[in-house]
Structure 1
């Protein structure tokens, strides 16, 4: 089941509560909740995997930011990667060895087979009129 929540604070509240639980069950079925992350965000996280492994090995706390950032706390200061050119400074600050991180913005994603399940990736959507909060989507009254 896919559920879209229009209220960001409500979604965050649900996700925070879900992370605090080991298992969520409903009518004897286990339920898993996942955030909807863009392809670009997933590609960036994949590209930074060697860096996050190095942070984990050194027990340096880090977290992911929205829309995209990697934030690591060193001492009492948070250091942030938002763009590929932030990586070298971040590595120096963290005293990490040189780690090869691909430029997730310029790299071409791996080739995918084009089929019915991939059609959504090829659609170009134009922005529409803003939606009103709390009401149905439809013509303005």
Structure 2
């Protein structure tokens, strides 16, 4: 009885399976076979790589990223201008430039024609006054009927001739308008151009007539007369520097120094003009505005300053 129980105990001990704890402990002591180790390592590597790639962001060029953008990119590429579109755009720009250039050329041609016409009109007006002289200072008390003998006596006095010397005067009259406190000028047309030049060449163009100061000038169109008024500061500087000057036709200021003559015809000539004469430059902005503004180009007549 006891033997049977003892044998049974031994047999049962041999067939009793390992407990779970023993199995877990044996894993640390049992060396796995090479095949199992290789399989295990490869599985771990695959698992690790899969985890790394799953957590790492995909590059922009990967198919998974480009897939949803493909329709948008196609639409953008299709919307880009093609070579034909660029060619048409370039042709349109060229045509627009040609039209604008042609319009500018037409405007310049019209302005050139207009300016040429105005210059011809001014030249004709000045030439029509070639024999005229303007006398300033003759009292208003002298009636129209007495103006002719008064002027003949004045001219003979300037030319140092006998008072009875005949001088042919074609016409004369006082100018229209009356400046406040100033007598009106008298315009006189002489028949002899040479005599007119002799009168204007006299140095004493300011004379006394019965106690009145009389001034004699060449009769010109409004534009050159007004420009002379604007250059009064320049002429005063020339007088103070003892530099001889005269007016040219149709308009120019001619100054002579050391046998050389320098001309001032346009505001752009001013720097060289003053430099050659050794004089300080005078501000001529007002003259420049008159010469280059549209008012003068359209024969506008600003009020001339008192002289």
TM-score (norm 1): 0.59
1:70 aligned residue: 253
Q: How many residues align?
A: 109
* Residue equivalent to 2:192: 7
* Contact residue 207 and residue 213 of structure 2 kept, 8 A: no
Q: Unmatched 5+ residue regions in structure 1?
A: 113-141
2:302 paired residue among 94, 110, 120: 110
Q: Which runs of 5+ in 2 are unaligned?
A: 1-146, 148-171, 173-187, 296-300
Instruction: Name the structure with the higher helix share.
Output: 2
Give the Cα–Cα distance (whole angstroms) in 2 for the partners of residues 95 and 18 of structure 1. 25
Runs of at least 4 residues off by over 6 Å: none
Q: Please give the alpha-carbon distance, in whole angstroms, between the structure 2 residues aligned to 1:39 and 1:55.
A: 24
Is contact 2:270–2:281 with CA below 8 Å preserved after alignment? no
Hey, what's the Cα distance between the residues in 2 that align with 1:57 and 1:31?
22
- Give deviations 1:59-103, integer Å, cap 9, x for gaps: 222122232221111211011112222212101111222211121
1:97 paired to 2:280: yes
Q: Which has the higher contact order (CA 8 A, sep 6+)?
A: 1
TM-score for both structures, normalised by structure 2: 0.30
Mean Cα deviation higher: 65-74 or 16-25 = 16-25
Query: 1:87 & 1:8 partners in 2: Cα distance?
Result: 32
Larger Rg: 2
Partner of 2:266: 83
Determine the C-alpha separation between the residues in 2 that align with 1:5 and 1:92: 40
Q: Measure, in 1, the Cα distance between the counterparts of 2:270 and 2:202.
A: 32
